[in-house]
Amino acid sequence: MSSKKNVLAIYRLLEGHFGDLQWWPAEKPFEVIIGAILTQNTSWKNVEKAIQNLKREKCLVPENLYRAKKERVEALIKPSGYYRVKTRRLKKFLEFLFDEYDGCVADMFGEDWRTLREKLLKVNGIGEETADSILLYAGQKPVFVIDQYTRRIFSRHGLIDGKAGYEEIQRFITDRLPVDVPLYNQYHALLVNTGKQFCKKDPLCITCPLGRIRRTRTGGSH
């Protein structure tokens, strides 16, 4: 089976197992952005608690969060862990948003996404995965997000080198898929769920929906 067919087969098998995951769970793009920054090095459950705190205090609005004192933000996002570091990162992003786009998220996403990606990567605390999550999930831009689960699943199936760089993996996948934002959204969500439930550090290959691909290619499990 060609690598293109494998990439598509993985998607179809996972979607058949999990269905439409409708990720990212948020009411507005700004909420997605904040969630993408807060989810670094923590579970989504903890991020949800922080998001609810911000909503309750009406701080999930660009201007309000921008003007909120550091100590207040730290207290509100504490459930997300590393709250002092993440407060600094939120503040840096907000400085960028207000300096470049007068605090308007819509104006930010009105810029060419490649240019915006370069700018985001210059904001302290925003790496490739976070920038691409912001672009895909908040901005609806055609950017495929690469994370630890993507790397693990594709390398275990022999499709990529486990030591390949972020952009190399991203290019490998997008070269084998149509340019489609909903597809990228759903595919990444499927990979995250597969990584959490099956493709763990100690993989559960027998029950994994992708076990059939692995057996077809090698005659065995992971």
Provide mean pLDDT across the span 69-93: 98
Say yes or no to pLDDT of 1 above 60. Answer: no
Q: How confident is the model at residue 219 (pLDDT cuts 50, 70, 90)?
A: very low
Q: Provide the mean pLDDT of the chain.
A: 93
**Which of the listed CATH numbers 3.90.650.10, 2.30.110.10, 3.20.20.80, 1.10.340.30 matches domain 29-138?**
1.10.340.30
52-81 mean pLDDT? 98
Cα(131)–Cα(203) distance, integer angstroms: 29
Is residue 58 predicted with pLDDT exceeding 80?
yes
The predicted model scores a pTM of 0.93
9 token code pair = 């087969």
The answer to whether 90 and 77 are in contact (CB under 8 A) is yes
Q: Please state, for a pLDDT cut of 90, what percent of the chain lies above it.
A: 89
Determine which of 24-28, 35-39, 108-112, 148-152 has the lowest per-residue pLDDT on average.
Answer: 24-28
* Close Cβ partners of 171 (under 8 Å, ≥ 6 residues apart): none
Cβ neighbours, 10 Å, residue 209: 18
What string of DSSP letters covers 82-98? Answer: SHHHHHHHHHHHHHHHH
Element (H, E) at 16: helix 3-18
* Amino acid type, 216: T
Q: Please, what sign has the CA dihedral across residues 85, 90, 94, 97?
A: positive
In whole angstroms, what is the distance from residue 167 CA to residue 185 CA? 17
Domain layout of the chain by residue ranges: 3-22+145-218, 29-138
Q: What is the pLDDT of residues 150-175, one digit of tens each?
A: 999 999 999 999 899 999 999 999 99
pLDDT on residue 174: 97
CATH number listed for the domain at residues 3-22+145-218? 1.10.1670.10
pLDDT digits (tens, 9 = 90+) for 199-217: 999 999 999 999 877 544 4
Distance from C-alpha of 78 to C-alpha of 68, rounded to nearest angstrom: 15
Q: Answer yes or no: are the C-beta atoms of 85 and 125 closer than 8 Å.
A: yes
Q: Does position 3 have pLDDT exceeding 90, yes or no?
A: no
Tokens of 141: 């831009």
Instruction: Give the pLDDT band (50/70/90) at residue 193.
Output: very high
Distance CA 42, CA 47 (A): 7
pLDDT at 162: 86
pLDDT band at 218 (very low <50, low <70, confident <90, very high): very low
Distance CA 80, CA 34 (A): 11
